[in-house]
Chains A and B, each alone.
Chain A
Amino acid sequence: MNSAYLSFVLLGFFLEMHLVFVNVIIGAAILTVVVRYLAYRRNDERLDGLARDMFRLMVATDLFAGVWATILTVYMASAFPSMTAIFTRADFYPIAIALVGIVASIPLIAAYWHLWGRIGPRAHSALGIPLAASVLLVPIGFRYLFAELNNPQFLNPGFEPIDAFANPLYPPLIAHTIIGAVDIGAFVLAAVLVARKEAGLEGIKMSLGVGLALLVPQAVAGGYYFAVLERYDPYIAANIAGPLLGYDPPSALFYPAFYAALALVVALGAVALYAFYEALRGRVAKLATVVAGVLAEAVMVLMEYVNDGARYPYMFVSGGGGIPVAQLVNQLIEMPPATIYTALASTLFFTALFSTAFYYAVVRRLLSED
């Protein structure tokens, strides 16, 4: 395995680990704000309790997603210095937007939690708007980097950093990202709720309903994104769609994953529909709901693998070609394999520890004091 390929794979691994948690944060934040508002409008205490559960899920995941963001950033700058330098110049403003989102979200989360029940429900619901906006600013800013990779603006003559906002690939990408995140968040939330000792039927029903309802717009956003990719990045489009749609893909590593992800989406729809139907009838389909949450994350992991991997051997893709990964990979040092292996072992160990603690504390609630 050459160093460029290994570096590319590792970057992908760190990105995927980050996204597994980030999607839950985005989804749970949006759902919290919406459900909190509905609870206020309907004066429904059960919905209020559900919103609190969603919020707790978001808080528990937030810090760990931040940890993975740090790992991802450090590795990106280490393994791909000029790509990172290009981002800091070409996407200076989008990165600044994302940073503002990160910085603003923490105090807003604290204020939202603290003021819950202490100020009027109307004012508290209104506070949810800046909270949701701050959480959304993070993907809104950082997704410009992915758009830059797929359609590099910095290569255009006379490029100025402000031009990054005019990337035609960005609108479908961010729409696909945000709808997908809320969708995943909803299914994961349903899985968390159903796994608890006292599973609340109302919350499970609502989460599954939101997840199912968003599958359609998510499919539309995906189609829109693919259509734009086809125009600006025929190389990536061919790798994703493969021979089934009449393309001649340069690599056979991605289109099978894409179709597998589509199959999982169908399975997700079926399983979630069954669980939702059961919930409507007042029954909890525990296994189906948990499977729906797992499938939602699996679809995200596969789709992101396809979206980011299909550019290989290029990093920045332009039309049918691009700037190869090998040209951008760090050659200033030879990364010691021992460093990589120990780092991987450590991250996996602590992720397992986090997941166990998360499961017992948040899901099973075995650690409650009373």
Chain B
Amino acid sequence: MTPSIGGGSGLDILYSHTASANNALAISSFGIYLHAVFVSLTLGLPLAILAWLVKWHRTGDGLYLKYAKMMTAVWAVNFALGVVTGTVVEFGLLEIWPTSILLFSSSGFVPLFYEATIAFIGEAVLLGLFVLAIGRWRARYTLSILLAAWALGSLSGYFILTVNAWMNVPWGAGGIPKALYPFLPTYGPDAANLTTALTLAALVMNHTLAGAGSAALTSVNFTQSVGPFFADPWLPLANPDAISTTVHTLLAAYAVGVGAVALALSARYLKTRDEKYVKLLKPLLWVMVVVLIAQPVAGHFMGDDVVRYQPLKFTALVALTGGQEVYGYSFNDPVEALFAYGNPSHPIYGFQYYLQQCGALGNTTFGQLYGQLDPQALSYLGPLANAALASNCRAAVASLEPLAPLVSAMYYTMVGSGILLAVAALLTLFTYLIRVPVLSAAADFINFKLLGPVVGKNNVLPFLASAMAVLSAVAAVAGWAAREVGRQPWTVYGLFTTNEVVTSVDVTPGFAAFVAAVLAAIAALGIAAMYYTATRPGLIDRLRGSHE
């Protein structure tokens, strides 16, 4: 039987989302996805421009330069939209989730500060310079600026994803999460000060019970009463999950960004039958294929991190294949076990296993733990002092159970899309980009004997390009949802729950609807602006002032 959240211990308020938290989650999710769309294009479009500029440089064909200039204008518009949505997301983070300020002021300081002062400012300036330079300066200067801007954009992604990775795998928290949730592993070295962490946890939990955990930070004595927390601010940059997350997510962003261009070109070709669109499409296919073939490898390493550092999330991910057994102690799933543990007969643990692990905490209460480790913070605990650690642990496990099917559905949508993507990439590679004995013959057979009759012989290439584009977007959306929803009930894994982070100001349905309407308007206007820009090849010259 599934225990109720909190197990009657009064801890429900930490784990069961309030209406305000749900409204906040809805608008934040919408905002982050919208930002991700623009950012994916910002990262992918330079690759399309690069491919065309290289072709122009090699062949002297003005078509490539014309479209590279047009795409540069789209990139500039897109970057501006990314800045707008990024500002909303950043302020939304601070305004709607104020406890996240702790990230800015501790483990996230170095990546966030570097993101703003090195990557973002550099990308903005170099993009501006590229807009001025393309078609006017020598190719090697233009290409250098483009590559530098793209590299800084990717670096920006690394810094931001490093912070997200720390929220998933709090590298440097050492054994602190394990002390509260025995099924969790150790997260790197012990860089977090134990007594400070306990004080922080007590303050935030107590304020959550009183209404809003984020209110703890609004005390003017907050930083003094907490003291030094994180000994090595550089450590999050070396988080193993930061590396795998960055590689996998950036590759996904490149695929989505370049895919959007490929989709647009395919659509134009299917509508007009103008061969120039196929000519423009081909250089992009190389980028798509390389990215999509590398993606399963990067995804595997990211999955390894989930198995190793987020065991509860891993159980949620496989809920659909595990069926009801996922709520039991353990079950067998040879395919998942092979990828996860390298051993098909390794058992996969169900939620009951984790609930049983919580029993290792015995009858110890928060008060007893604090009395032993940090007596000074006892006063911050308030009514939490009498709550049992095991009840807290069980409440955390129980709170993820209802979400498991959703997390799993997203996960398998991503996996399914990924498999189809890899197939489409291989069919494109061996038929249209390189010729390899046997492999190309097999790809030709599938493309022209099986696919051709269905989609039309001349439509196979645009069909494959479109499929790669759409499936990239589906995989990215579903994969990110699985990652983020699967992080529940925590915002920082094993340290802070979602309810502890949300604002003390009530996020009403009306406010959420207003923000959603604003975001939807940005999305609609943004798409319209990009379409407008993409359909006016001479626009960049107007932007540069030559209309006069």
Contacts and interface: CB of A to CB of B under 8 A. Distances in A.
Given A69-B87, A327-B224, 19 more contacts: A63-B79, A63-B83, A67-B121, A70-B87, A70-B90, A78-B109, A81-B105, A88-B101, A95-B91, A99-B91, A103-B84, A107-B526, A330-B223, A332-B102, A333-B230, A342-B118, A351-B121, A357-B125, A369-B541
B532 interface: yes
Interface string B513-548: 000001001100110010010000000010011101
Contacts of B234: 336
B391 interface: no
- Please provide the 6 A-B residue pairs with the shortest distance between their CB atoms, ordered closest to farther: A85-B217, A77-B104, A343-B117, A81-B105, A332-B229, A82-B222
A330 B105 contact: yes
Contacts of A161: 505
B114 interface: yes
Interface in A322-343: 323, 327-336, 339, 342-343
B104 A78 contact: yes
A154 B218 CA distance: 10
Given A71-B121, A114-B532, A353-B125, A107 B220 contact: no
A128 B129 CA distance: 29
A333 B229 contact: yes
Contacts of A90: 218
A284 B237 CA distance: 55
B94 interface: yes
A133 interface: no
A344 B218 CA distance: 29
A5 B370 CA distance: 34
Interface stretch (A35-43, A185-193, A291-299, A360-368): A360-368
6 contacts: A71-B116, A95-B95, A102-B87, A107-B522, A331-B228, A368-B546
B529 to A, nearest CB: 5
A154 B505 CA distance: 14
B122 interface: yes
Contact of B132 (A154, A339, A361): A361
B221 A327 contact: yes
Contacts of A333: 105-106, 109, 228-231, 233
Given A70-B86, A74-B112, A347 B101 contact: no
A75 B108 CA distance: 11
Contacts of A78: 104-105, 109, 112-113
A92 to B, nearest CB: 5
Given A81-B105, A357-B132, A365 B87 contact: no
A331 B223 contact: yes
Contact of B117 (A71, A82, A102): A71
A346 B156 CA distance: 14
Contacts of A99: 87-88, 91, 95
Contact of A100 (B219, B518, B526): B518
Interface string B116-153: 11101110110011001000100000000000000000
Interface string B447-468: 0000000000000000000000
Given A339-B110, A346-B118, A354-B128, A77 B101 contact: yes
Contacts of A89: 98, 214-215, 218, 503-505
B468 to A, nearest CB: 30
Interface string A47-89: 0010000001000000110111111011101110110111011
Nearest to A353: B125
A103 B88 CA distance: 8
B228 A339 contact: no
A82 B505 CA distance: 16
Contacts of B541: 369
Contacts of B94: 73, 77, 84, 88
A161 B215 CA distance: 13
A325 to B, nearest CB: 11
A81 B120 contact: no
A213 interface: no
Contacts of B114: 339, 342-343
Interface residues of A, number: 67
Interface residues of B, number: 71
Instruction: Determine which residue in A161, A316, A331 has the highest number of CB atoms from chain B within 10 A of its CB, and name it.
Output: A331
A67 B228 CA distance: 30
A133 to B, nearest CB: 15
Interface of A: 49, 56, 63-64, 66-71, 73-75, 77-79, 81-82, 84-86, 88-90, 92, 95-96, 99-100, 102-104, 106-107, 110, 114, 154, 161, 316, 323, 327-336, 339, 342-344, 346-347, 350-351, 353-354, 357, 361, 365, 367-370
B383 interface: no
A85 B203 CA distance: 14
B104 A368 contact: no
Given A332-B229, A332-B230, A339-B113, A85 B86 contact: no
B369 interface: no
B80 interface: yes
Nearest to A329: B223
A96 B95 contact: yes
B233 A92 contact: no
Contact of B121 (A103, A104, A347, A369): A347
A357 B129 contact: yes
Given A84-B94, A96-B95, A99-B88, A350 B122 contact: yes
A74 B113 contact: yes
The DSSP consensus for interface residues of chain B is helix
A31 to B, nearest CB: 19
B81 interface: yes
A20 to B, nearest CB: 14
Contact of B98 (A63, A88, A361): A88
A199 B428 CA distance: 56
B136 A74 contact: no
A90 B218 CA distance: 9
A114 B531 CA distance: 13
A13 to B, nearest CB: 12
A332 B106 contact: yes
B227 interface: yes
Contacts of A354: 125, 128
A119 B233 CA distance: 55
A316 B220 CA distance: 10
B88 A353 contact: no
Given A77-B104, A81-B101, A88-B98, A102 B84 contact: yes
Nearest to A90: B218
Interface in B172-211: 196
Contacts of B95: 88, 92, 95-96, 99
A267 to B, nearest CB: 32
A106 B87 CA distance: 12
A81 B223 contact: yes
Contacts of B522: 103, 107
B98 to A, nearest CB: 5
B218 A86 contact: yes
A336 B110 contact: yes
Contact of A334 (B83, B220, B228, B521): B228
B226 interface: yes
A70 B160 CA distance: 13
Contacts of B505: 89, 92, 161
Nearest to A59: B543
Instruction: Determine which residue in B81, B116, B132 has the highest number of CB atoms from chain A within 10 A of its CB, and name it.
Output: B116
A106 B504 contact: no
A133 B468 CA distance: 43
A277 B505 CA distance: 55
Contacts of B106: 332-333
B529 A107 contact: yes
Contacts of B228: 331-334
Interface string B45-88: 00000000000000000000000000000000101110110111
A102 B88 CA distance: 9
Nearest to A347: B117
Contacts of A102: 84, 87-88
A85 B104 CA distance: 11
